[in-house]
Copies of this chain bind each other. A is one copy, B any other.
Amino acid sequence: MRFSQLLLGLIVLAGNPLLAQGPYDQAFNPDVPAPDGFRTNRTSYSAIMDVLAAERPQVSEEQLDQLRDVPLEVIFSAIGDYRLNYVTGFATTRPGERLVGRALTMRFLPARPDLVRAANVLAAEGNWDRRYYARAAEEAQPGDVVVAELGGSDGHNLFGDMGAIGIKLRGANGVVVDGGMRDLTGLQDDRFAGFPVLHRFTDPHTTLWLGVEYNAPVKIGGVTVLPGDIVVGDEGGVFFFPPDLLEPVLEYAAETEAREAFQLQQLENKQYRFRDIYPLSPELQQEFERTQR
């Protein structure tokens, strides 16, 4: 309920122009059956992603590297309606390390006997490991960040240090788990430099929940994360936004950095009132722009 308020204006009015009035007893088209082998696709099927896939560009390693130094407050100001797509409350295994990459998402559900049977069948047919962290240790790509919906603070563990080393060896940049992990001491080892794991809790138990969707939309904290989203953050909080916003963010960041440096210098000069500098008064704005030429 909380963070979505700002979206109200944008969304509610969108309307649905094509709906014509119809009868109470409607006849609907029958469901289209799934083709053979479809159920063991490596990327789980999502109707939402089927619609959105076309509008989501690939981003480069260079772009991700540039993002690594942009303050979160600058990103906040640059991503428009996605600025509420922000999640807090994580602990990290690497204090002070920024996590940047592309979301490789996983959705987990609590175990029950029939769900376990089904997950075993799919794993056998699809030639993957039922443990989704083990799948990531075999399938993740460089620059990926594993993003796992796992029940939050009331949830379950994703993995321990052995699973983490497997994922890191594939070139992934880290993990955001809305749930727990084990082997905290192991994951704080220098071996894991550059591979922060943001998590809700740690405990020594093994994983029981079951991965049911791989690279499909998930809920992390109170926001939606789509596969391929840009992930950027640290233990203070994490933003998730669509890849087409990455370039505008980088441009905005360059401009902001220059202006804030100018403002800081003005503050230290103690010549003008605070309110004339932050934000810049028209006169100081002009002076700033002169310095930028």
Contacts and interface: CB of A to CB of B under 8 A. Distances in A.
Instruction: Specify how many copies of this chain sit in the oligomer.
Output: 6
Nearest to A205: B1
A182 B86 CA distance: 13
A7 B112 contact: yes
Nearest to A17: B124
Interface string A268-280: 1011111110100
> Among the interface residues A11, A81, A183, A283, which one has the most CB atoms of the partner chain B within 10 A?
A11
Contacts of A18: 124
Interface string A105-117: 0000111111111
A69 to B, nearest CB: 11
B160 A73 contact: yes
Contacts of A3: 2, 5, 110
A121 B18 CA distance: 11
Interface stretch (A26-34, A58-66, A246-254): A26-34
A54 B163 CA distance: 34
A6 B4 contact: no
A81 B5 CA distance: 12
Contacts of A275: 19, 129, 134, 138
A270 B24 contact: yes
Contacts of A155: 1, 222
A110 B48 contact: no
A202 interface: yes
B113 A48 contact: no
B208 A11 contact: yes
A70 B292 CA distance: 50
